[in-house]
Structure 1
Amino acid sequence: MYSLYRSVSQKWTCPLISVQPIRGLVDEKFQIAVTNLPPNQKVTLHSLHQSDDTDFWEAFGHYVSDEHGSVTGFKDESLGGTYDGTEPVGLLWSMRPIPGSRHGLRLRKRDIFRPMEVCISVYSGHLSQGFSQQTPLATSVTERWYVAPGVKRVNIREKEIRGTLFLPPGSGPYPGVLDLWGVGGDFVEYRSALLASHGFASMALEYLTPEDLSLEDTDASYFEKAYQILNNHPMVKKDHLAVLGLSLGSAITLNMVSYSKVIKPQCCVCISGSHLMPVEKSLSELFELMKKMLWRYTCLAIIIIKLA
């Protein structure tokens, strides 16, 4: 009688999924565990997120349950999907727009004081599409934040400089970071917020669309003033600064570090940018030069293709 009851109860046991911690920073590793599966069952772990731009993003990995009917996302290997191998946060970093989404999307956080909600589900079989038409075996929702508790947000409106300074909890002073984004959209704060969550006083500088300032007026002096404001802030450790640039911000960073007599950081980080930037030109003049260079390279590419 006991063996009959045991077999029936095992047959109808529902799979369970656990995500720990359920709330954490967006770059914090989390542990996903699925239990109550049949042994050696093929399953797909799937993440789904609706961005602040209302677009849906997803990632997924293919797994096989062990002899105990369990899958542990932080130590088991993904056999395929949007990521391979052992990836504790693969369901976040490998996210991509769902099929049929509009083109040119970027996954950005516009409201940093609201969490990034991610729905993590487990599906039977190794799936690569059609998740919305399938019923998951189990689902859990986790919150990933760009702002840790206690981080302060300070608007900077000084000497025509526009930006946002994020300060870690505590009395400081902290090492500082001047954060320069590129031209791919609106003013972005979430990277500086995350840096402050890890102990840096980070200032996201608004330099493409600042109030009361045209691109013709945005030249080297604008970035030098911003650097001085950050360096002289009472919560920032003086002369312990870094400059972080992405895309156009990377080109500006290299230019300022190389030629400015004011900007002398202890470290600079440049991501996906170019070192080919003229010295002592405004952003308006720079954009005109970039247009000419783009047209020249486009014509050259067309000629090469025709001759090939």
Structure 2
Amino acid sequence: MASCAFLCSYRSVMSQAVPPLLSVHPSRALVDEKFSVLVENLPPGCPVTIRSLYQSEDKDFWEAYGHYVSNHKGTVSVSEDISLGGTYTGKEAMGLLWSMRPIPGSRKGLRLRKKDTCAPMLVTISVYSGHGDVSDQAPLASALVERWHVAPGVQRIEITEKGVRGTLFLPPGPGPFPAMLDLWGGGGGLQEYRAALLACRGFASLALEYLKANDTKPKGLDMKYFETAFEIIRSHPQVIPDRVGIIGLCFGTLVTLSLAAECPTIKPRCIVCISNIHSKSNENTIQEFPQEIPEKYNKLHMMEDVVVWRDMGLAVLEVEHPKVKVGNINCPMLLINGTDDQNWPTVEVASDVSFSCWIPSCLASVAQWRGFFC
């Protein structure tokens, strides 16, 4: 009753006093650029919810929110104050972006992916009274912000030469630049947003399409295709030829490790593997892996309408099974994993890879994140 009376009193004060002032700086920036969210003109010690809302290109709504209490000056700063609850807790300057999730009642199995990298994400930041459900509540103040994947001056070039399909992003300026070959995972399709951000940070980056979207039984996955793609970006006049690395996600890490370990024509400057896979098919190839492994080990199960591969991956690790010869890799390697990854036992795989690479010619570093990558 006391908290209810306080909240009613607070709302009464808010209706009579100067309305809260919400400011977001910068209001237009890259999606990975830190920003400040400040709420002023609040009564001291008052509970508020700060929420972000985004409608994806698939027309699904995503949200993130934190619960705050204003200080003695009547202000809340997302970058400096602690969130007491919501989709994130603690001091999280970027929590309103990285903790976004589908709003209640959304379709199952959604992923937040930007398709058109040349258009911004339009995110509404709002402040609400109290710490309850604010979905049907009118905000006290709102601000619309733009979050971009392409900075001014970045060039986007479609690649269709030599049978290779992809998109090349070049940083502003004449170069030459270091470069990355960007390989996404088994979900397939052409995903550009990571390559676009790499170009914003000074790397020429080729986002490569090598699987059709949702192709669970890939055919004709020839390593020559990846060798050709690597050579296209390596030989580009605005690229430093001996400073080309490879970055892969999930199934893309299997390709990345295979290229670095077993293709004599490819000598990457470094490799980055996110959510690692290093098991191959019984024929010692990567082509049959997505189809053969589920059929042989049959340990798939469902979690919230999503297929979970983790137990199957653990079964593969426990037996003698062909793996990429990661001991042959002689460039620096960064392995990034989510400790709550249910798609594949990436932490265990990273440990196995690191152990196999414990030789002077290869420096393997492992970074872990409490969560998962998609």
Please state if 1:22 is matched with 2:27.
yes
Alpha carbons 1:15, 1:37 under 8 Å: kept = yes
Please state if 1:177 is matched with 2:180.
yes
What value does the CA root-mean-square deviation take over the aligned residues? 2.2
**Number of residue-to-residue matches in the alignment:** 287
Residues in 2 aligned to 1:77 and 1:196: alpha-carbon distance in whole angstroms: 33
User: Which residue does the alignment assign to 2:49?
Assistant: 44
The alignment's TM-score, normalised by the length of structure 2, stands at 0.73
Alpha carbons 2:254, 2:286 under 8 Å: kept = no
User: Which residue does the alignment assign to 1:306?
Assistant: none
Structure 2 residue runs without a partner (length 5+): 1-12, 302-310, 313-374
1:201-237, Cα deviation, whole Å (9 max, x unpaired): 0000110139xxx943321111111111111110111
Distance 1:280 1:167, change over 3 A: farther
User: Which residue does the alignment assign to 2:114?
Assistant: 109
1:7-32, Cα deviation, whole Å (9 max, x unpaired): x9994210110000000000000000
User: Which residue does the alignment assign to 1:126?
Assistant: 131
Residues in 1 aligned to 2:248 and 2:130: alpha-carbon distance in whole angstroms: 42
Alpha carbons 2:40, 2:75 under 8 Å: kept = yes
Residues in 2 aligned to 1:274 and 1:148: alpha-carbon distance in whole angstroms: 32
The alignment's TM-score, normalised by the length of structure 1, stands at 0.88
Task: In structure 1, give the amino acid aligned to 2:186.
Answer: V
Task: Decide which of 267, 278, 285 is 1:281's aligned counterpart.
Answer: 285
Structure 2 matches for 1:75-90, cutoff 5 A?
A: 75-90=80-95
Three-state SS of the structure 2 residue aligned to 1:204 is strand
Please state if 1:54 is matched with 2:59.
yes
Distance 1:241 1:66, change over 3 A: same
What is the Cα deviation at residue 287 of structure 1? 3.0
What is the Cα deviation at residue 262 of structure 1? 1.7
Residues in 2 aligned to 1:185 and 1:217: alpha-carbon distance in whole angstroms: 14
Residues in 1 aligned to 2:15 and 2:299: alpha-carbon distance in whole angstroms: 69
Structure 2 matches for 1:1-308, cutoff 5 A?
A: 11-127=16-132, 129=133, 131-209=134-212, 215-278=218-281, 281=285, 283=287, 285-295=288-298
Residues in 1 aligned to 2:264 and 2:161: alpha-carbon distance in whole angstroms: 21
User: Which residue does the alignment assign to 1:5?
Assistant: none
What is the Cα deviation at residue 185 of structure 1? 4.7
Matched-pair identity in %: 53
1:250-289, Cα deviation, whole Å (9 max, x unpaired): 1111111111112211111111131112476363x33332
Task: In structure 1, give the amino acid aligned to 2:222.
Answer: D
Higher relative contact order (CA 8 A, sep 6+): 1
Task: In structure 1, give the amino acid aligned to 2:182.
Answer: D
Alpha carbons 2:66, 2:87 under 8 Å: kept = yes
Distance 1:219 1:43, change over 3 A: same
Alpha carbons 1:35, 1:71 under 8 Å: kept = yes
